[in-house]
């Protein structure tokens, strides 16, 4: 079984991507970067989601000798000109503080009426092989932002993004429902042909 390493220590992302690969019936063993604690985190110095995903994937492929997957994703709010964007995970100043990020965003949008609360989750996912070969795919999930969080599933901004044509937030969807429509799910679906092409 081909081992793939995912450039994250986020247990939620690892579980989500394992489910996507399993549903696609791909015989790959997905491991997280937490299995290689000696490898330092890669600084996300890119100015786009794709650049950051490629930086992480190439660094991990070189360090481990394994095919590496990395994604960079975030929430893009139309009335904020696409922000938080690549700064989504550290919008409130501390990387990975989901609650603080969510609270700050909601405060910034407190006087914005429903018709203008359009937003989308965006994901760029990169595959890098140890020989330098690379592929990138992207995905989006369009929706609107609630005024208050709802739901206990998912992570990040899931409790406030309500997908178009649904009455629930992403945090109220089952994992299977979310994977079927999510930005990350869409990006990985777009990457599957490249995985089959390069890894068999």
Domains of the chain: 2-199 (3.90.950.10)
Q: Which of 26, 5, 7, 73 is nearest to 200 (CA)?
A: 26
Across all residues in the chain, what is the average pLDDT?
92
The residue that leads in pLDDT, 22 or 172, is 172
Percent of the chain clearing pLDDT 90 (strictly above) = 70
- 3-class secondary-structure state, position 35: helix
Entry pTM: 0.88
* Separation CA 9–CA 15 (nearest Å): 11
Mean pLDDT across 106-115 = 96
From 41, 71, 72, 97, active-site residue? 72
Which pLDDT belongs to residue 15?
Answer: 82
Based on the residue annotation, tell me whether 97 is a catalytic residue of this protein: no
Mean pLDDT across 61-87 = 96
């Amino acid at each position: 079984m081909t081992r793939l390493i995912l450039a994250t220590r986020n247990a939620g992302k690892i579980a989500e991507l394992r489910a996507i690969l399993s549903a696609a019936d791909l015989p790959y063993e997905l491991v997280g970067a937490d299995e290689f604690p000696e490898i330092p985190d890669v600084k996300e110095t890119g100015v786009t989601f794709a650049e950051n995903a490629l930086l992480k994937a190439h660094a991990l492929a070189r360090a481990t000798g394994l095919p590496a997957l990395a994604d960079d994703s975030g929430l893009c709010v139309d009335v904020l000109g696409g922000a938080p964007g690549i700064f989504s995970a550290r919008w409130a100043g501390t990387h990975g503080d989901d609650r603080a990020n969510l609270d700050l965003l909601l405060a910034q949008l407190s006087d914005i009426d429903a018709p203008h609360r359009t937003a989308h989750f965006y994901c760029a996912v990169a595959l890098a092989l140890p020989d330098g070969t690379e592929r990138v795919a992207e995905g989006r999930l369009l929706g609107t932002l609630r005024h208050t969080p709802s739901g206990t599933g998912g992570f990040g901004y899931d409790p406030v993004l309500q997908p178009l044509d649904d009455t629930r937030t992403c945090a109220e969807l089952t994992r299977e429902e979310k994977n079927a429509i999510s930005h990350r799910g869409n990006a990985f679906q777009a990457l599957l042909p490249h995985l089959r092409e390069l890894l068999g």
